[in-house]
A and B are shown apart, each in its own frame.
Chain A
Amino acid sequence: MYPAKFEYFAPRTLAEALSLLEKYGDEGKVLAGGQSLIPLMKLRFAAPRALIDLNRIEGLDQLVEEAGALRIGALVRTKACELSQLLHDRFRALGDAAPQISDPIVRNRGTVVGSLVHADPQGDWGSVMLAVGARVEARGSGGTRTVTIEQFFQGPFASALQPDEIVTSVVVPDPGPRASGTYLKLERKVGDFATVGVAVHLSLDNGRVRRAGIALTAVAPTNVKATKAEEALAGAELNDSSIRNAAELAAQAAEPRSDLRGSADYKRHIVQVFTERGLRTAAEAARAA
């Protein structure tokens, strides 16, 4: 399959990349890992006039802790997250999700940020970022702005990013003490998108929930937060009944459709089972943290 012709640029600096993007407007496309964009170009669902490859820009591949928060630069590959001890220890939902995303070879190229900008409702990173309350930092001709991850997802394959903007990083806030999380994904085979995915993040304070983040993959037009479940848990004691109640509320937040991967009822049921299981796993890890 051959994509349509395009002009290719490999700028060395973000400033250069931004000025190219400004010049080409919505006819220009940023290329990161290319694991979503190139398949779309091969099918000619995307036919940008200019391709602006970020891969030669230095400093965008930082995966670092900053005053307790985590900064994930635009060129951080999912593979780097899979291998990161920091994610495993302090940002567990991210660490648990990484090895379940796509396949090992795709993870060598695909970036976290590229996945978020792609805004596929079946994407796994989106739910993880909703659960942990991440912020997206974007730079455009008008300067830098920060968007909460909830505001970032506008619809299926639609983000709040302007055509002249580049996401420089995504920032995960400091989870604080007694915090953990996990990601559960049901997939038919390695490399398949989720039938259902559930991201859970918990922080505890004296045995009560300080903050709960729950977000769902592949059961709504975007990655979606189970807000009612989160609210029911906040301040509550974590026990069988509060966990079961939250899992039921999470299942109600899902609006799945029946398709080849399963019926709507089945998917809603999986949301409930995974939420319950995820909360128990996260609670145990948070108590030990």
Chain B
Amino acid sequence: MNEQARPVSDEPQMRRRVEMVVNGRPRSAEIETRLLLVHFLRETLGLTGTHVGCDTTSCGACTVRLQGTPIKSCTMFAVQADGLEVTTVEGLAQGGKLHPVQEGFKEEHGLQCGFCTPGMMLVSAALLEENPNPTEAEIRFAISGNICRCTGYQNIVKAVQWAAQKTQSGQAATTVA
């Protein structure tokens, strides 16, 4: 992560214009400085895949990736992301193809209500980039900041294992129906 290298506007105000690259696309808006990143994504940009669960930094439903690193978007101001790159769950599928982690959640039934799923998948995708072949314990440790009240985690772990195997065997992802 290299936040220092990015350009940032020097104008101090309670409103300011921010520019960031969200899911590969440059986005810009004038916003209040107190606007949380999660509300910027959901309300300003209409990217409602990022969920608000607890709003108190505890559940991980609002997880997005900032410069590749998973962060809780309910606990960062949108102005802090000025000039940086953000990936949300909408950015996981590439060129009409599901990300292996998305496929894994589908194949292994890694979700029930789906509320925790965007955060779970972004954290899992980040894990597999760092550690392509994690043990079950490593998967459980990596998702320990994300709370799921439905699944009991078992199928989430299986979904991540499925994605790891899929990525390792280098098979092409299936096309979105």
From residue 1 to 43 of chain B, which have CB atoms closer than 8 A to chain A? 3-4, 8, 12-14, 16, 32-34, 36
Binding site for B on A (CB under 8 A): 1-10, 12, 31, 34-35, 38-39, 42, 50-51, 53, 55-58, 99, 102-106, 108-109, 190-191
A35 to B73, CA, bound (A): 11
Q: How far is the CB of A48 from chain B (nearest CB, A)?
A: 11
Tell whether, in the assembled complex, residue B145 and residue A190 are in contact, meaning their CB atoms are under 8 Å apart: yes
Q: How far is the CB of A244 from chain B (nearest CB, A)?
A: 33
Interface presence of B75 (CB below 8 A): yes
Tell whether, in the assembled complex, residue A7 and residue B14 are in contact, meaning their CB atoms are under 8 Å apart: yes
From residue 49 to 81 of chain B, which have CB atoms closer than 8 A to chain A? 55-58, 60, 63, 69-72, 75-77, 79-80
Contacts of B57 in A (CB 8 A): 35, 38-39, 106
Tell whether, in the assembled complex, residue B12 and residue A105 are in contact, meaning their CB atoms are under 8 Å apart: no
Total contacting residues, chain B, CB less than 8 A = 33
Interface presence of B146 (CB below 8 A): yes
Tell whether, in the assembled complex, residue A103 and residue B33 are in contact, meaning their CB atoms are under 8 Å apart: no
Tell whether, in the assembled complex, residue B142 and residue A3 are in contact, meaning their CB atoms are under 8 Å apart: no
Instruction: With a 10 A CB-CB cut-off, give which of A3, A10, A51 has the most chain B CB atoms.
Output: A10
A42 to B60, CA, bound (A): 17
Tell whether, in the assembled complex, residue A105 and residue B71 are in contact, meaning their CB atoms are under 8 Å apart: yes
Query: Given A39-B75, A105-B63, do A5 and B69 touch, yes or no (CB 8 Å)?
Result: no
Tell whether, in the assembled complex, residue A6 and residue B34 are in contact, meaning their CB atoms are under 8 Å apart: yes
Q: How far is the CB of A255 from chain B (nearest CB, A)?
A: 28
Tell whether, in the assembled complex, residue A8 and residue B71 are in contact, meaning their CB atoms are under 8 Å apart: no
Tell whether, in the assembled complex, residue A38 and residue B75 are in contact, meaning their CB atoms are under 8 Å apart: yes
Query: Given A8-B16, A38-B76, A103-B144, do A109 and B71 touch, yes or no (CB 8 Å)?
Result: yes
